[in-house]
């Protein structure tokens, strides 16, 4: 393994450790020394890998942003593209839940993204988190579902926002209690159903 690869591995380890701690104790209550101790690694060395705590957060948020994109436009999503709109969303949620179950950091990522979007956190990170937008895509899908009569009437944008807000809320609930069972995707999609 080359030096560069080693460094990359180490960076990932730091990122994952930080993600855990940020979600568990919050960004501000997580001290650089906490992350260092958990990796483990000396405090000073952290700055060899990330130039500041803020940059570390930013990288995580970028990961989250990319992940969200990948989730909604990746191959799995493509494969379902011509299902009826309600089937599509159900399948989507199904995949999201089962993926998150295998890779628990996905839950943490949801929580982190939510925190960064809502709470006062460093400007830069906030911007990146805010730029992620699943609303419009889903709104279009909802409009299609309405034409087909599977979804109820209503402003597709508003419905899309409610749908995602619910999903966000539920993912955060699940993140807080890993024992919690995933809900039936049908329940959530019902928000939109005729």
Is the four-CA dihedral 167, 65, 60, 4 of positive or negative sign?
A: positive
Q: How far is the CB of 57 from DNA (least distance, A)?
A: 10
User: What residues from 35 to 54 belong to the interface with DNA (CB under 7 A)?
Assistant: 41-48, 51-54
Q: How many residues bind a second copy (CB under 8 A)?
A: 42
Q: How far is the CB of 134 from DNA (least distance, A)?
A: 31
- Decide whether 83 or 165 has the Cβ nearer to a second copy: 165
Stretch that binds DNA, among 24-32, 103-111, 126-134, 169-177 (CB under 7 A): 24-32
43-51, 82-90, 97-105, 168-176 -> range binding a second copy (CB under 8 A): 168-176
Dihedral, 47, 51, 53, 59 alpha carbons, nearest 10: -120
Min separation Cβ 37 and DNA, Å: 10
- C-beta of 10 vs 152, nearer to a second copy: 152
Please report whether residue 128 would count as binding a second copy according to CB under 8 A: no
8: partner contacted, choices DNA, a second copy, none (Cβ within 5-8 A by kind): none
| Residue that the structure tokens 């299902």 belong to | 83
Contact pattern from residue 22 through residue 61 relative to a second copy, giving x for each residue in contact according to CB under 8 A and a dash for the rest: --xxxxxxx-------------------------------
CA-CA distances (angstroms) from residue 168 to 56, 173, 181? 23, 9, 16
Write the burial class of residue 23 (CB in 10 Å: 0-12 exposed, 13-18 middle, 19+ buried). buried
86 closest CA partner among 170, 144, 166: 144
Residues in the chain: 194
10 binds, among a second copy, DNA, none (CB under 5 to 8 A by kind): DNA
Hey, what are 154's tokens?
A: 């209503």
User: Is the backbone peptide bond immediately before 40 cis, with ω within 30 degrees of 0?
Assistant: yes
Contact 23, 108 (CB under 8 A): yes
Minimum CB separation of residue 10 from DNA in Å reads 6
């Amino acid at each position: 393994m080359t030096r560069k690869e080693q460094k990359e591995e180490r960076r990932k380890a730091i990122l994952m450790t930080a993600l855990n701690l940020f979600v568990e104790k919050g960004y501000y209550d997580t001290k650089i020394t906490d992350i260092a101790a958990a990796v483990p690694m000396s405090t000073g060395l952290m700055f060899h890998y990330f130039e500041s705590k803020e940059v570390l957060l930013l990288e995580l948020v970028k990961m989250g942003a990319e992940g969200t994109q990948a989730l909604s436009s990746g191959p799995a999503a493509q494969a379902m593209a011509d299902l009826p709109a309600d089937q599509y969303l159900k399948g989507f949620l199904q995949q999201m839940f089962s993926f998150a179950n295998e890779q628990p950091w996905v839950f943490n990522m949801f929580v982190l993204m939510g925190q960064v979007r809502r709470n006062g956190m460093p400007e830069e990170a906030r911007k990146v988190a805010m730029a992620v937008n699943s609303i419009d895509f889903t709104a279009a899908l909802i409009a299609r579902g309405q034409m087909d009569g599977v979804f109820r009437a209503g402003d597709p944008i508003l419905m899309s926002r409610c749908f995602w807000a619910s999903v966000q809320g539920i993912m955060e609930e699940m993140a807080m209690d890993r024992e919690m069972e995933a809900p039936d995707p049908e329940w959530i999609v019902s928000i939109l159903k005729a």
